[in-house]
C-alpha cells in the first residue's frame, strides 16, 4: 500500500510524488500535493531552503513476490492508491516522459498485476465505477481487464507485464488532443472525429523515444483501434496483421467503455456488456480471445447477487449457451428464475449479498 514518508531533500530522486502541498512562508502553494517531482522541482526545493518533504512511498513489491490482495476492501484501497499515483504520472508524460513512464511501468508491474489476481475483480471493478477521473480510471481498468484476458489465454509473466503496460498506456495519445474535442458532450463532427482517430499514432510517437519500453507495447498502443475485419483505424489492418496485445486491449477497451459510469449515461452491467462482446467477436473483435474473456466472466460472475427490474434480488446460478445477460437466478425465496424464459425481466445491477 502507498504510505507517506518524510525524506530529506538531498536524498530525493526524480520521479517521487509529493504527499502534501509545499507552502511558502505566507501560505502560498509552491508545489501541490500529488506533484511528480522532476530534477528541476528538486532544485527549486533546495533554492527555497526546504530541507524535508513528505513523499508518497510504496510503489514497489511488498515482498520478493508481488502483493497478494484479498476481498473487495483491499481491492478498492489498492485501486484508489494506484489511481492517485497514476493520475499524477500520466498528466506529466508530455513534460517529463522518461520519469513519468518509469513511474507508470513500476505501477503496472507492482500495482496492476496484484489487482488482476483478485478473485472477484470483475465484480469489484464494476461496483467502484464513478464518472470522475474517467480518463485515468479507464486506463487502469483497461490494464486490469487486459491482464485478466492475458492470463486467460495463457501469456507468460513477461508478456503479461507488457500487455498490462500497453493497456495502461493505450490512450496516451489523447494527451495531445485538445480538451474541447475530447470532452465534447455532443456528437463529434467529421473533422473532429478525424482528429480523435489520430490518437493511436500520436501515442506511438510519444512512446517511440522511450528505449526501456518494449516495441510490442508501442505497437499495441498504435493498433488498439484496429479491428479483425479491417474496419478499424488508423490503418485498417486485418486480423493477421494486428498484434495479439492490441486484440486483447480492443476487447478490454470495449468492455470498460460500456461498464463505465459517464455523466451522460448510466453504466451497463457486466452481463449486458459481455453480451455485446459476444455479438462483436465474430467480425470485429477476436473470436478466440473473446471466448476466453467471456468464459472468465461467467466463472467470475457466477454466485454474484443481482438486482432485477421487477424489484427482486437473486443469485446468479447458471449461464446457458444462448445469452450472457439472461442467466438463471435463484431468488431469495429459493425459487429459480430463468431470465431466458422471462424476457420482460432484466438484471439492472450487481449488489452486495
Ligand atoms: Fe483509444
CA distance 206 to 172: 8
Ligand 1 centroid to Cα of residue 132, in Å, is 18
Verify that 159 and 239 share a domain, yes or no.
Answer: yes
CA distance 150 to 138: 18
Verify that 148 and 203 share a domain, yes or no.
Answer: yes
Residues in the chain: 353
Ligand 1 centroid to Cα of residue 14, in Å, is 29
Ligand 1 centroid to Cα of residue 129, in Å, is 19
Ligand 1 centroid to Cα of residue 253, in Å, is 8
Verify that 201 and 325 share a domain, yes or no.
Answer: no
Q: Which strands, in side-by-side order, build the sheet including 328-331?
A: 336-338, 328-331, 313-318, 305-308, 347-351
Verify that 322 and 184 share a domain, yes or no.
Answer: no
Ligand 1 centroid to Cα of residue 185, in Å, is 17
CA distance 93 to 232: 26
Verify that 29 and 160 share a domain, yes or no.
Answer: no
- State the pairing for strand pair 328-331/336-338: antiparallel
**65 assigned to some structural domain:** no
Phi first, then psi: what are they for 18, rounded to 5°?
A: -70, 130
Verify that 255 and 315 share a domain, yes or no.
Answer: no
List the chain residues with pLDDT less than 50. 62-64
**Residue 52 lies in domain:** 3-57
Full-model pTM: 0.86
Question: How many C-alpha atoms does 347 have within 13 Å on its Cβ side?
Answer: 32
Ligand 1 centroid to Cα of residue 49, in Å, is 44
Peptide bond preceding 234 in cis form (omega within 30 of 0): yes
Give the pLDDT of residue 62.
Answer: 46
Ligand 1 centroid to Cα of residue 225, in Å, is 6
Ligand 1 centroid to Cα of residue 3, in Å, is 32
Verify that 244 and 314 share a domain, yes or no.
Answer: no
Ligand 1 centroid to Cα of residue 124, in Å, is 23
Q: What is the CATH number of the domain that holds 152?
A: 1.10.3210.10
Ligand 1 centroid to Cα of residue 174, in Å, is 8
Ligand 1 centroid to Cα of residue 17, in Å, is 27
Structure letter (DSSP) for residue 111:
I
Ligand 1 centroid to Cα of residue 315, in Å, is 35
Give the three cell numbers for residue 143. Answer: 490494464
**66 assigned to some structural domain:** no
Ligand 1 centroid to Cα of residue 208, in Å, is 17
**64 assigned to some structural domain:** no
User: Measuring CA to CA, which residue among 258, 295, 250, 287 is closest to residue 151?
Assistant: 295
Ligand 1 centroid to Cα of residue 189, in Å, is 18
- Beta partners for residue 318, in sequence order: 328
CA distance 291 to 272: 15
- Sequential DSSP letters for 159-227: HHHHHHHHHHHTTGGGGGS-HHHHT--SPPPHHHHHHHTTHHHHHHHHHHT-TTS-HHHHHHHHHTT--
Give the pLDDT of residue 2.
Answer: 54
Verify that 87 and 106 share a domain, yes or no.
Answer: yes
Share of the chain above pLDDT 70, in %: 95
Ligand 1 centroid to Cα of residue 202, in Å, is 11
Ligand 1 centroid to Cα of residue 81, in Å, is 24
Ligand 1 centroid to Cα of residue 136, in Å, is 13
Verify that 329 and 290 share a domain, yes or no.
Answer: no
Ligand 1 centroid to Cα of residue 235, in Å, is 14
Verify that 316 and 286 share a domain, yes or no.
Answer: no
**What's the structural domain count of the chain?**
3
Ligand 1 centroid to Cα of residue 268, in Å, is 19
Extended beta strands in the chain, E state = 3-8, 17-18, 22-23, 29-31, 52-57, 305-308, 313-318, 328-331, 336-338, 347-351
**63 assigned to some structural domain:** no
Ligand 1 centroid to Cα of residue 298, in Å, is 26
Ligand 1 centroid to Cα of residue 110, in Å, is 24
Ligand 1 centroid to Cα of residue 171, in Å, is 5
Verify that 173 and 135 share a domain, yes or no.
Answer: yes
Verify that 154 and 227 share a domain, yes or no.
Answer: yes
Amino acid at each position: 500500500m502507498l504510505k507517506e514518508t518524510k525524506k530529506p531533500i538531498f536524498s530525493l530522486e526524480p520521479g517521487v510524488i509529493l504527499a502534501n502541498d509545499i507552502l511558502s512562508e505566507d501560505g502560498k502553494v509552491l508545489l501541490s500535493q500529488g506533484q511528480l517531482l522532476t530534477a528541476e522541482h528538486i532544485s527549486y526545493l533546495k533554492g527555497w531552503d526546504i530541507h524535508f518533504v513528505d513523499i508518497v512511498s510504496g510503489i514497489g513489491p511488498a515482498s520478493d513476490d508481488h502483493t497478494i490482495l484479498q476481498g473487495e476492501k483491499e481491492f478498492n484501497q489498492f485501486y484508489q492508491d494506484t489511481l492517485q499515483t497514476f493520475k499524477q504520472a500520466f498528466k506529466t508524460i508530455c513534460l517529463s516522459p522518461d520519469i513519468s513512464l518509469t513511474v507508470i511501468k513500476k505501477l503496472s508491474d507492482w500495482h496492476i498485476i496484484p489487482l488482476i489476481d483478485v478473485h472477484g475483480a470483475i465484480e469489484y471493478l464494476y461496483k467502484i465505477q464513478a464518472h470522475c477521473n474517467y480518463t485515468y480510471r479507464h486506463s487502469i481498468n483497461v490494464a486490469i481487464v487486459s491482464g485478466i484476458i492475458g492470463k486467460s489465454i495463457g501469456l507468460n509473466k513477461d508478456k503479461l507485464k507488457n500487455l498490462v503496460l500497453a493497456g495502461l498506456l493505450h490512450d496516451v495519445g489523447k494527451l495531445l488532443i485538445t480538451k474541447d474535442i475530447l470532452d465534447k458532450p455532443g456528437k463529434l463532427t467529421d473533422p473532429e472525429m478525424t482528429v480523435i482517430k489520430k490518437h493511436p499514432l500520436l501515442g506511438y510517437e510519444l512512446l517511440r523515444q522511450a528505449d526501456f519500453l518494449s516495441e510490442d507495447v508501442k505497437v499495441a498502443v498504435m493498433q488498439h483501434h484496429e479491428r479483425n475485419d479491417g474496419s478499424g483505424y488508423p490503418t485498417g489492418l486485418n486480423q493477421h496483421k494486428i498484434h495479439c496485445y492490441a486484440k486483447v486491449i480492443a476487447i478490454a477497451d470495449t468492455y470498460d467503455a460500456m461498464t463505465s459510469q459517464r455523466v451522460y449515461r448510466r453504466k451497463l452491467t457486466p452481463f449486458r456488456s459481455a453480451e455485446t462482446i459476444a455479438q462483436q467477436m465474430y467480425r470485429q473483435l477476436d473470436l478466440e480471445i473473446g471466448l476466453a474473456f467471456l468464459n472468465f466472466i461467467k466463472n467470475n460472475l457466477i454466485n454474484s447477487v443481482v438486482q432485477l427490474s421487477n424489484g427482486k434480488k437473486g443469485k446468479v446460478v447458471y449461464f446457458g449457451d444462448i445469452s450472457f445477460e439472461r442467466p438463471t437466478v435463484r431468488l431469495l425465496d429459493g425459487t429459480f428464475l430463468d431470465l431466458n424464459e422471462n424476457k420482460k425481466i432484466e438484471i439492472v445491477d450487481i449488489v452486495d449479498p
